Structure 1
Amino acid sequence: MEIKELKSKDEFVKAFPVMKQLRTHLDEETYLDLVFEAREKDHYRLFALYDQGDIVAVTGFKPMITLYYGRFVWVCDLVTDSVKRSMGYGEKLLNFVHDWARTNGYSSIALSSGLMRLNGHRFYTDKMNYDKVSFVFKHNLD
Structure 2
Amino acid sequence: MRLAVADSDADIARCQPVMLELRPHLADRDFVAIVRRQQAAGYRLAYLEDGGAVRSVAGYRFMDTLCCGRILYVDDLVTRAADRSAGYGGRLFDWLLEQARAERCDEFHLDSGVQRFDAHRFYVCRGMNIVWHHFSLKLK
Cα-Cα RMSD: 1.1
1:7-22 maps to which residues of 2 (within 5 A)?
7-22=7-22
- Alignment pair present for 1:86 and 2:85: yes
- Alignment pair present for 1:39 and 2:36: no
State the one-letter code of the partner of 1:99.
E
SS at match of 2:127: coil
Question: What TM-score, normalized by structure 2, do the two folds share?
Answer: 0.96
**2:135 aligned residue:** 137
Q: Deviations over 1:73-103 (max 9, x none)?
A: 1000100010000111111101000001101
**2:95 aligned residue:** 96
State the one-letter code of the partner of 1:141.
L
* Cα contact 1:13–1:28 (8 A) shared by 2: no
- Please give the alpha-carbon distance, in whole angstroms, between the structure 1 residues aligned to 2:14 and 2:70: 31
**1:69 aligned residue:** 68
**2:27 aligned residue:** 27
* Cα contact 1:61–1:75 (8 A) shared by 2: yes
Bigger drift between 22-31 and 116-125 goes to 22-31
How many matched pairs? 140
State the one-letter code of the partner of 2:128.
Y
Shift in Å at residue 111 of structure 1?
Answer: 0.4
SS at match of 1:77: strand
Give the gaps of 5 or more residues in structure 1. none
Question: What TM-score, normalized by structure 1, do the two folds share?
Answer: 0.94
Give the gaps of 5 or more residues in structure 2. none
- Please give the alpha-carbon distance, in whole angstroms, between the structure 2 residues aligned to 1:102 and 1:111: 16
SS at match of 1:32: helix
Shift in Å at residue 33 of structure 1?
Answer: 2.4
State the one-letter code of the partner of 1:27.
A
CA 30–6 in structure 1, closer or farther in 2 if over 3 Å, else same = same
**1:52 aligned residue:** 51
- Please give the alpha-carbon distance, in whole angstroms, between the structure 2 residues aligned to 1:28 and 1:105: 38
Which 4+ stretches in 1 moved above 4 angstroms? none
Q: Matched residues, percent identical? A: 34
